[in-house]
Amino acid sequence: MDWYPLINSLRIAAISAAIVFFLGVWLARAIVRLPHAFRGALDVVLTLPLVLPPTVVGYLLLRLVGPRRPLGMLLAAFDLRLTMVWPAAVLASVVVSLPLMYRTARGAFEGFDETLAHAARTLGKPESWIFWRVTMPCCTQGIVAGVVLAFARALGEYGATAMVCGYTPGSTATVSTTVYQLWRTGDDAGALSWVLVNLAISAVVLLAVNLIERKGARRPARAGRVIA
């Protein structure tokens, strides 16, 4: 059994989750502070990939980074491309999983008790210190849930990935595209084996986040310790 699709899928999901962690947290934190009128408009834009069909997302990405599009031609000038290579799957996975990270992070930040941040400011702590040492620890459960959901979404992404990345064994193949190719060629046993692998990984990921949430729920709040 060729394990490349699994290795490639895990690589793509891990890179995508890392990107959407920083991007989603930054966007959520920035938008929470905006007036409601701007916040509503940006919410629509950032959440749109969550409700659009994956094939539509893939088509829009091709219109953006395709080899005959301005951005695609600009990348080609530097001998780079974002279609039919495995990094293209990272781009697609980031676009489709970012809304999950953004929404969960935003919910966590909206539920944060700002009096803790104000207390830290009275002690002369800088904003960066307050964010990483006060805000983020208090929002850990929501942030972790967002990262896990983004990872799981990227791991199972097919529609947009298939359009911008395609299927090339040993190069761009992922678990999802491999399942489709095996089913299309009549190899039901091979497709089922990859489905079971994907199910097992997804179950482990969800169990891990449940354990993290339970541990966080049992930990008593220690605001004074966080600020100190």
Q: Do 29 and 132 touch, CB atoms closer than 8 A? A: no
Q: What is the pTM of this model?
A: 0.83
- Most distant CA pair in the chain, distance: 67
Residue 17 has pLDDT above 90, yes or no: yes
Instruction: Note the pLDDT of residue 90.
Output: 92
Collapse the DSSP code of 43 into the 3-class scheme (helix H, G, I; strand E, B; otherwise coil) and give the result.
helix
Instruction: Note the pLDDT of residue 218.
Output: 58
Q: Domains plus CATH for the chain?
A: 4-227 (1.10.3720.10)
Residue 86 has pLDDT above 70, yes or no: yes
Of 11, 6, 4, nearest to 200 by C-alpha is 6
When pLDDT is averaged across residues 211-220 and rounded to a whole number, the result is 61
Residue 222 has pLDDT above 60, yes or no: no
CA distance 42 to 205: 30
Handedness of CA 123, 127, 133, 135 (dihedral sign): positive
